[in-house]
Structure 1
Amino acid sequence: MEKTYVFGHKSPDTDTITSSLVMTNLEHELGNTGAVACRLGNINKETEYILNYLDIEAPELIESVEDDASVILVDHNSPSESVANLENATIKKIVDHHKIAIQTSYPLYFRVEPVGCTETILFKMYKEFNVEVTKEIAALMLSAIISDTLLLKSPTTTDEDIQAVKDLAEIAEIDYETYGLDMLKAGTDLSSFSIDEILHLDAKQIDFKDVKSIVNQVNTASINDVLEMKDDLEAGINKIIEEEDLDLFMLLITDIINSNSQVLVLGKSASLVEKAYGVTLEDNTALLEGVVSRKKQVVPIMTENA
């Protein structure tokens, strides 16, 4: 059978990796045995914890696909976050929870819903297609929803996400609060990463109107621990700004315990952060109280004030 590449966005997070695995399993159950789970980058610490916990291998690492290859996109639909030669592939399906950022000249299965995690949508699809959700698949789905919603504390969390977590925790036979906190804490260990790796862990290019920007986010149990690397982080950020010709680089250091973010901001448009949030940057940083979601609490606010 024809090979179908199933993958999420670059700088993959837990939702991207688990969704590629879960979507591939669904494709197999529906008869597409040529579906192959793939990834476009290295596994982060949180996802590594999950895969080790479940004794599951990571998806295959790829950088591109063959011309005319069949692909399924999960947890993204923006070409800038996908494989470099996406325009030469045939997109068969998209399952995502982000804003629509793609156009095609042909019809395809396109499912985008305003929920906190792609896995919440996939859970619904399993039920709609009457495909069994095994303990392993349930645990993958559960892990991703916990990750994307920060244990249901993020403003991106919907009632559907909450119900999915409850249902999946029962299937997986997991105490989701205990497991979820351990999982999130595992993802905050930055000790083995270089400064450059930290600055690319979850970096997304998000232009605020004509302000060319990158917004990166790292989770931590201690903001102060991350700020101990501040000088090195700033040097790395300035290098990226120069290489990418950026107007702005925002590093959100998100406290998973207290649900706040310290933002480290550099670039000629740094004052946009002060305008958007009514804060004063001191030594390039400011505390953004209650801000944990890049999608809901950064992109719209920054765009509106740009």
Structure 2
Amino acid sequence: MSILVFGHQNPDTDAIASSYGWAYLEKNAWGRDAKAVALGTPNEETAFALDYFGVEAPTVVTSAKEAGASQVILTDHNEFQQSISDIAELEILAVVDHHRVANFETANPLYMRLEPVGSASSIVYRAAKEAGLVLPKEVAGLLLSGLISDTLLLKSPTTAESDHQVAKELAELAEVDLETYGLALLKAGTNLASKSAAELIDIDAKTFELNGNPVRVAQVNTVDIAEVLERQEEIEAAMLAANQANGYSDFVLMITDIVNSNSEILALGQHMDKVEAAFDFKLENNHAFLPGAVSRKKQVVPQLTESFNA
């Protein structure tokens, strides 16, 4: 029975890449039967990376037990509400992550590798080096894609000093020019016009328990914030529908300009005073500008957490 390796729900490029890379590591360094799967269909950015490096998209699963597995490894997440539906019933063998630790406990000891770096893919790459593996082009390419995606080509404040060297080495192994490939990858993820509002707010969305409140925090990348806000009415309708259907107390959408490294926050819900206090701004028509913000992990979620706990 294979060990399933997967990232979070609504997987982004780092979630897919890090699970693919860690499964490769499990098999080729330690001889374990591990299989990378996904908790959702790859987005357009991830699909670009998979196609570029000739990698088949991982199988989408919703239940590990239905997939015939009882042992799992989590990458790029640890919070149970972001994980597979039956996570509480499974044996978690390992966690490889670069996020905060919350809502997490296990019955047995496990391997945990948690580092404050730009991506889970960065951690996987260093683990592979420690194991003496020289990664093939496609594995290196996916890990590079995960790092580029999560750090916006090393421009995000989440970028660790070590990530620059990791990116350089992975680009060499993947046989790509870092800047050229990186820009092409990021632009592949900004095609929002073809998506419905419901699809748009679910491209990269995670639920966080903030002082007992389930808050949905989503992020979309674009080269034109104004173009996204032209669809504000339908986006708000989709956000309200998501709140009602899933019991979210609040929905916060981060619309990020990847060229100028700024974001607009569009928010709806029960605690707009908390959202305003988090960023020291005033929402007008349910949105406000957040200069210099590109990272949900570092520039949005911690501020919301502090505000909701105040």
- The answer to whether the superposition gives a TM-score over 0.5 is yes
Counterpart amino acid of 1:100?
Answer: V
1:272 to 2:271 alignment: no
Map 1:78-117 → 2, pairs under 5 A = 78-101=79-102, 102-117=104-119
1:177 to 2:144 alignment: no
1:190 to 2:189 alignment: no
Residue 54 of structure 2 contacts residue 138 of structure 2 at CA under 8 Å; is this kept in 1? no
Measure, in 2, the Cα distance between the counterparts of 1:240 and 1:20: 28
The equivalent residue for 1:134 is: 136
Structure 1, 192-201 or 150-159: larger mean CA deviation: 192-201
SS, match of residue 209 in structure 2: coil
Measure, in 2, the Cα distance between the counterparts of 1:116 and 1:189: 24
Map 1:288-303 → 2, pairs under 5 A = 288-303=290-305
Measure, in 2, the Cα distance between the counterparts of 1:227 and 1:192: 15
Residue 73 of structure 1 contacts residue 93 of structure 1 at CA under 8 Å; is this kept in 2? yes
1:11 to 2:13 alignment: no
Q: Deviation digits for residues 181-218 of structure 1, max 9, x if unmatched?
A: 11101101123322111121111111332443111100
Residue 20 of structure 1 contacts residue 59 of structure 1 at CA under 8 Å; is this kept in 2? no
Distance 1:68 1:286, change over 3 A: same
The equivalent residue for 1:287 is: 289
The equivalent residue for 1:63 is: 62
Map 1:192-211 → 2, pairs under 5 A = 192-211=194-213
Counterpart amino acid of 1:148?
Answer: D
Counterpart amino acid of 2:169?
Answer: D
Measure, in 2, the Cα distance between the counterparts of 1:292 and 1:107: 35
Count of matched residue pairs: 305
Counterpart amino acid of 2:270?
Answer: K
Residue 259 of structure 1 contacts residue 291 of structure 1 at CA under 8 Å; is this kept in 2? yes
Which sections of structure 1, spanning at least 5 residues, go unmatched? none
Q: Deviation digits for residues 79-120 of structure 1, max 9, x if unmatched?
A: 111111112221112111111231112111111111110011
Measure, in 1, the Cα distance between the counterparts of 2:213 and 2:6: 29
- Give me the CA root mean square deviation: 1.4
Residue 208 of structure 2 contacts residue 214 of structure 2 at CA under 8 Å; is this kept in 1? yes
Residue 208 of structure 1 contacts residue 299 of structure 1 at CA under 8 Å; is this kept in 2? no
The equivalent residue for 1:46 is: 45
Give the superposition deviation at 1:228.
1.5
Which sections of structure 2, spanning at least 5 residues, go unmatched? none
The equivalent residue for 1:77 is: 78
Residue 44 of structure 1 contacts residue 187 of structure 1 at CA under 8 Å; is this kept in 2? yes
Residue 71 of structure 1 contacts residue 90 of structure 1 at CA under 8 Å; is this kept in 2? yes
SS, match of residue 16 in structure 2: helix
Residue 241 of structure 1 contacts residue 247 of structure 1 at CA under 8 Å; is this kept in 2? yes
Structure 1, 292-301 or 66-75: larger mean CA deviation: 66-75
Residue 141 of structure 2 contacts residue 171 of structure 2 at CA under 8 Å; is this kept in 1? yes
The equivalent residue for 1:22 is: 21
Structure-1-length-normalised TM-score:
0.96
Structure-2-length-normalised TM-score:
0.94
